[in-house]
Amino acid sequence: MTLSLTHVHGDRVTVAHGAAGTELFSYVYRPEAEWEAPKPYLHPVRTLSGAVVTGYRPNDHRWHKGLQLTASHLSGQNLWGGNTYVHGEGYLALPERVGSMDHVSFEEVGVGAGRAVIAERLTWHPHGGELWAEEERRVEAGDIDPDSGSWTLTWTSAVTNRRAEPLRFGSPTTHGRPAAGYTGLFWRGPRAFRGGRVLTATSAGSARSGESAASPENGPMGSQAPWLAYVGEHDGRDGHATLVFEHAPSNDHAGEKGTHPAHWFVRSDPFAAVAPSWAFHEELVLAPGETLARTYRVVVADGAWDRARVAAHLAALGW
């Protein structure tokens, strides 16, 4: 099925499909509020039928914007946005710790052979504006499948430390808050998806063969699995949508403290959110000049998929 692309320079790149021009997502890179740790993000993201599956600036967390790459604790800085978690004191308004991920240039923006590609260069900065990291990012859309009602988004980022000292990636959990290991690629679902169903690739930590309500007490929060799926039900229209998050086998990173395979951060209450965390239980340390490379795939599908259907679809896609 044909993909098309529209670039509003300085603002966003929008990818659509089909004769009707149904928009699959917008990649927004314009600067936004400093308090929200400005960074590019995808919103709205839609299914093939046009249903929106991302939230944007919800009143509980204004810095939650669709699908974005984040760093909640980075060597004492907050590139996540909003208040900063401080052990023993909770979340504090510390604007002097809020940094940014800035768009520099696009290396490629185009469509062809059934895929849309956005390749971008970014720089990461603490609040003071120094250069801490350079990132090469590639976002691709493809695998349009009307029969299954799905398409895939692949996100690859390579982040190189440009400081003269290590970059320490952490999370609220590495700083003392239980079950709050969010950092890295982060999805915020629409408000209607609250209370959705979470499926994992394995039954570990789950009450029903990988199917559970996501919570620290009963579910995959903080666990490891090749993929995790979230099923939500729409407001304003009938039906469900399923998002499947999968991290590439190559994502394990050898650092100062060994390998750091992804651990899942996932909530269905009080809001829908998923992140394959870089630093759930312990910090990830990136030495000067070293590059942290990550690849993720997100399947966006109409309908409520079960665990068997997710597994079969991913097996057919392969890596």
Question: Per residue in 292-305, pLDDT tens?
Answer: 999 999 999 999 99
pLDDT value for 250: 83
Mean pLDDT over each residue of the chain, to the nearest integer: 91
Rounded-to-integer distance, Cα 78 and Cα 19, Å? 43
pLDDT value for 201: 86
With a cut of 50, say whether residue 209 has pLDDT above it. no
With a cut of 90, say whether residue 249 has pLDDT above it. no
How many residues are present in the chain? Answer: 319
Instruction: Please give the DSSP secondary-structure letter assigned to residue 109.
Output: E
Confidence band of 219 (pLDDT split at 50, 70, 90): low
The one-letter amino acid at 90:
G
Mean pLDDT of 161-175: 96
| Tokens standing for residue 31 | 């600067």
Confidence band of 259 (pLDDT split at 50, 70, 90): low
Instruction: Please give the DSSP secondary-structure letter assigned to residue 49.
Output: T
Cβ contact 50:281 at 8 Å = no
Rounded-to-integer distance, Cα 227 and Cα 210, Å? 11
24 or 1, which is more confident:
24
Mean pLDDT of 186-207: 82
Name the phi and psi angles at 275, rounded to 5.
-150, 125
| Least trusted range by pLDDT, from 16-30, 47-61, 110-124, 203-217 | 203-217
Whether the predicted model's global pTM rises above the 0.75 cut: yes
pLDDT value for 213: 46
With a cut of 60, say whether residue 207 has pLDDT above it. no
**% pLDDT > 90, the chain:** 84
Chain CA centroid to CA 257, Å: 24
Name the phi and psi angles at 37, rounded to 5.
55, 75
First to last CA, the chain: 21
Closest to 169 measured CA to CA, from 101, 65, 79, 85: 79
